């Protein structure tokens, strides 16, 4: 039995949501996040808005996508910058923590130049 049919029989399957390109006023598009959660309550959204909003514009939008939905919509997005959020902690060396924002800014400058 296919997994899709199995979940349908259990009443746990839901059709993938229709994707529509809709970046907000900050030029950030959220995809595959909980619809009941406000954008301002998503830490990563706030972090990007606070540190990197000056890189974004109507022509250069950012897609912030999580693993909680269909992957096809990620490819369908017209956002020029795409970040795939998986929500798992990765072990990192403590000495690199201070350099993360600087290296991310540097990499964004390279990508957006």
pLDDT in tens, 47-73: 999 988 898 999 999 998 887 777 777
Q: What pLDDT is attached to residue 23?
A: 86
Q: What pLDDT is attached to residue 37?
A: 77
Q: What pLDDT is attached to residue 7?
A: 73
Instruction: Name the 3-class secondary structure at 63.
Output: strand
**DSSP string over 5-45:** HHHHHHT---PPPPP-----TTSEEEESS-TTS-GGG-HHH
Q: What pLDDT is attached to residue 99?
A: 56
Q: What pLDDT is attached to residue 71?
A: 73
pLDDT under 50: residue ranges of the chain: none
């Amino acid at each position: 039995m296919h997994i899709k049919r199995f979940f349908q029989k259990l009443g746990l399957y839901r059709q993938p949501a229709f994707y529509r390109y809709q970046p907000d006023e900050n030029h950030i598009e959220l995809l595959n996040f909980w619809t009941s959660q406000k954008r301002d309550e998503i830490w990563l959204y706030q972090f990007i808005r606070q540190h990197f909003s000056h890189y974004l514009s109507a022509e250069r939008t950012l897609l912030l996508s999580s693993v909680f939905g269909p992957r096809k919509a990620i490819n369908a997005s017209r956002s020029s910058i795409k970040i795939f959020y998986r929500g798992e902690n990765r072990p990192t060396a403590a000495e690199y923590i201070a350099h993360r924002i600087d290296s991310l800014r540097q990499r964004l400058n390279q990508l957006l130049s």
